Structure 1
């Protein structure tokens, strides 16, 4: 695995053309999200995306990665973007609002939106379906209900695609300012493991070694893997730290975690996050490193 690499500033000029929206509340957040997605794509496809490429994206959400993919595949390519979440989920724009905006934009005819459970939809394709050139899971694995779900997805993808491209938080900090995000993610994951019916962003913070093991157990082989440091300005770390720092998090832990020892682990992870914050201001918090890999 290579050492962390910062995202290339040369991508910045290309980000606005594939941004899904500009929020008056977060005027620069979308550009950094798009820039990050461009960095993922150039890592997966260092020689570019061939014309006519067909990509299936699993866990597309509001379409941050979808827009970048549609930009890269060009007018002859196509993206099938699937997510099981209801269209009224998400903020500052819901899935429905963001997807509708993209459909009306310059890339609208390159995208097909699908709302369905992943395994059910893949199984319904049948053995005669044309292979996708690639399947992308970009920051969608941690939303899943556990390693069992991801293992089933890797199994279901056999015979459906030539390669699987994965990007997920690495649980790794190459900079001190990233440590609070790491602890926040672990604290959130520990709490959500004790709750039923939660819609939090982090359900199962699976480490890269676990994801790789599940893929290999289903017959996939790692092609390339690397770790990148997200561009400064990525808001994810700040958002997650904010939700764990809030007093409501401690209250949820006290109420929802019945096992006293597990509760102390959850609260201790929150304490560790607060310690990592120290005197750091909110503007200094950085999102943790990202693991980027492809499987063939």
Structure 2
């Protein structure tokens, strides 16, 4: 059986149109979809074979899921899992976004699962008992973690995921922010991420996007400790329309950030570290000047 071939960037409007937040936020969705196409073409440069089954851990609202569903075609399937409540997210909730995708052209290629990422085997067992046979055997051609690791509680959680995937797939495809900047306008995003992470390390029960900003070297260490090895890795620079840097910067620039630091950081020295990181972020923003803020580079790896 032949492979499907790589995804053309010209497909971005078609794939994006399946997502609920295409309009009136099309200027946001189109760059996100282009970025997902770039990720998939890095992992699957020759495409995938018919009938390919992919497990996506940390699918969120489905930006990567939609691109994966297009990639696997009508005979393939994507099992997309996320732990967040279905009412999480704004201006569109997780449940609304997933439901919209299910009603569209890719709907019969996607199974949504709400469960903690480390509990995916138990969650899929529940699906099978419920009469959904797509997951029988729990063996996948590939497992994808696209911009989902930073949402996790830390190394221990990621380690359990890699350990649990042994024997269930031959490939784990990872994409995460690299903490690297190839142009000056990306440095504000790097500092914003580290500032947010420094605060979140002092909090419990937060729903912020960044919980543990593991660097590529840390992710590789965790994977290798579980018996996985990097097959390939590269760094890509997102397009100018990717708004993630702006969004993260906004949460740290907000006036309420100071109140969060005062309330949640008890150690005075740690508090000064958090505030100093924010000062560095503001300095990087001023240095960027008219260029504004660009999202930092993304590390893309393939583990076997």
Question: What TM-score does the superposition give when structure 2 sets the normalisation length?
Answer: 0.90
User: In the comparison of the two structures, how many residue pairs are matched?
Assistant: 286
Q: Could you tell me which of 231, 244, 257 is aligned with 1:236?
A: 244
Q: Does structure 1 residue 210 correspond to structure 2 residue 207?
A: no
Residue aligning to 2:105: 106
The superposition leaves residues 72-96 of structure 1 with CA deviations (integer Å, 9 ceiling, x where unpaired) of 0111000000011100001221110
> How many Å separate the matches in 2 of 1:254 and 1:125?
42
Q: Does structure 1 residue 295 correspond to structure 2 residue 303?
A: yes
Residue aligning to 1:6: none
The superposition leaves residues 89-147 of structure 1 with CA deviations (integer Å, 9 ceiling, x where unpaired) of 01221110000000010000000000112222325668x82420000000000000111
Instruction: Tell me: higher relative CO, structure 1 or 2? Use CA pairs within 8 A at least 6 residues apart.
Output: 1
> How many Å separate the matches in 1 of 2:48 and 2:25?
30
2:302 match: secondary structure: strand
Compared CA separation, residues 173 and 137, structure 1 to 2 (3 A): same
| Matching of residues 4-83 of structure 1 within 5 Å | 11-19=8-16, 20-24=19-23, 26-83=25-82
- Segment of structure 1 superposing worse, 19-28 or 264-273: 19-28
Q: CA RMSD in A?
A: 1.6
List runs of 5+ in structure 2 lacking aligned partners. Answer: 1-6, 126-135
Q: 8 Å contact 1:59–1:137 — kept in the other structure? A: yes
> How many Å separate the matches in 2 of 1:154 and 1:242?
33
Question: What TM-score does the superposition give when structure 1 sets the normalisation length?
Answer: 0.93
Q: Could you tell me which of 209, 212, 215 is aligned with 1:201?
A: 209
Q: 8 Å contact 1:123–1:156 — kept in the other structure? A: no
- Segment of structure 1 superposing worse, 15-24 or 190-199: 15-24
List runs of 5+ in structure 1 lacking aligned partners. Answer: 1-9
> How many Å separate the matches in 2 of 1:22 and 1:263?
37
> How many Å separate the matches in 2 of 1:134 and 1:230?
23
